[in-house]
Amino acid sequence: MSISLTINGSPSALELDASTPLLYAIRNDLDFKGTRFGCGSGHCGACTVLIDGKAVQSCDTPLYLAENKNIQTIEHLIHEKVGRIVQQSFLDEQAAQCGYCINGIMVSVISMLTKNNEPDQATIMMCLNRHLCRCGTHTRIIKATHRAIRELKKAI
């Protein structure tokens, strides 16, 4: 079956089963390796992408739910203003230890800050709630998010 996807602004037609997880198409067919497989059940957040601006776990999202929608991966998002600020803040705070989960976390933070550049602590915690970091850099991730908020205010 032919599925039409628009990923990072580029349209693609893939011959895949409509129930194939979006993550598999992103990594295996379109070669975007920044979106990672973690748990395969939508619980860890390593596979987070934006679909029409909303942070979504791609490992349990079938292709038919993403068809004809705007999908953005970390590779695209870090080239936009908010994405560059978030990426630099995470680097400055050394928020990644092994780095496996960080791309998904940054996608969620970028999504949050694109919609609300002054989130309160409860909003930040809600944004990060669907992500697991097995290295335990949660404190640095939160610090990096606060730094991104401050840097974004300076940039506006």
Is residue 47 a contact partner of residue 104, using CB atoms and an 8 Å limit? yes
Phi, psi torsion values for 5, nearest 5 degrees: -125, 145
Q: pLDDT band at 135, cuts 50/70/90? A: confident
**156 pLDDT higher than 80:** no
Question: Would you give the DSSP letter of residue 62?
Answer: B
Predicted local confidence at residue 48, as pLDDT: 98
For position 17, what pLDDT does the model report?
96
**pTM attached to this predicted model:** 0.94
Q: Assign 98 a pLDDT band (cuts: 50, 70, 90).
A: confident
Sheet containing strand 2-7, strands side by side: 10-15, 2-7, 70-72, 48-51, 54-57
Q: Which of 30, 33, 8 is nearest to 20 (CA)?
A: 30
pLDDT classification of 144: cutoffs 50, 70, 90: very high
Mean pLDDT of the chain: 95
Largest CA-CA distance found in the chain, in angstroms, rounded: 48
pLDDT tens for residues 16-32?
999 999 999 999 999 99
For 78-155, the fitting CATH number among 3.60.70.12, 1.10.150.120, 1.20.1250.20, 3.20.20.70 is 1.10.150.120
Question: In 23-64, where do the E strands start and end?
Answer: 48-51, 54-57
Residue 111 tokens read as 């999504």
Q: For the chain, which residues make up each domain, given as ranges? A: 2-73, 78-155
SS (H, E, C) 94-109: CCCCCCCCHHHHHHHH
The pair of structure tokens assigned to 106 is 């940054």
pLDDT of residue 25: 97
Tell me which architecture the domain covering 2-73 has in CATH. Answer: Roll (3.10)
End-to-end CA distance of the chain: 45
CA distance 115 to 113: 5
Q: Degrees (nearest 5) of the Cα angle 56, 101, 31?
A: 70
Does residue 102 have a pLDDT over 90? yes
What's the sign of the alpha-carbon dihedral 119, 41, 10, 83?
Answer: positive
